[in-house]
Amino acid sequence: MNIVIGAIILAVGALIVIKSEAVLNMFGRITFFEHYLGTEGGSRLGYKLVGLLTIFIGFLIMTNLIGGFLEWVLSPLLRYSRPQ
């Protein structure tokens, strides 16, 4: 089941990257992306970065590595939340 869900998420991410102009027309410009990622094409670049992040998460789910990755990313927070 992880392969199917990961493939769907991967496909959505690929569509976001490929069709960033259509996504920009649907959702509009985002001021955060425009301010920090460039003057004219900041929102397009932001949508492409979101698509690449989605592709990365899709690959993690497909290969069943999402648990280990989240544990690694959240390990500084989890270290302090465990009782001693």
61-74 pLDDT, tens per residue? 999 999 999 999 99
Q: pLDDT by residue (tens digit) across 27-79?
A: 998 888 888 887 677 889 999 999 999 999 999 999 999 999 999 999 888 88
Q: How far apart are CA 13 and CA 1, in angstroms?
A: 19
Q: How far apart are CA 73 and CA 83, in angstroms?
A: 20
Q: Find all residues with CB under 8 Å of 5, minimum gap 6, and list them.
A: 61
Q: Would you call 25 exposed, middle or buried from its count of C-beta atoms within 10 A (0-12, 13-18, 19+)? A: exposed
Instruction: Specify the pTM.
Output: 0.84
